[in-house]
Amino acid sequence: MKRRTTGLFEPATKGDLLQLEEKLEDKITGFKDDIMTRLDDISGQLETMRQENTIGSYQTHNLEEKVDDHEKRLKKLEHS
């Protein structure tokens, strides 16, 4: 049986479709790898920010305690 063509495209064979599938799988795998690499970077940055936030909160708490202590001492001196 003779294959019909329209002049623009020839019908795809099973081999053509398998090659296309392999190419698409390769592209998708590369795309997934790129996304995972970027997510790893973002995750690392987020972890760093969380650690810095924890440290900053601790330092702020210590400074607030010192300010409160200084305010109490100043009030005592002013009333003396």
Give the range of the structural domain holding residue 75, as residue numbers without chain letter. Answer: 32-80
pTM above 0.75, yes or no: no
Alpha helices in 1-80, H assignment, sequence order: 14-79
| Residue pLDDT, tens place only, 13-40 | 999 999 999 999 999 999 999 999 999 9
For the chain, how many structural domains are there in total? 1
Quick one: which of 27, 25, 21, 26 has its CA closest to 13?
21
59 vs 12: CA distance, rounded Å: 68
* 76 in any annotated domain: yes
Please report whether residue 68 resides in a domain: yes
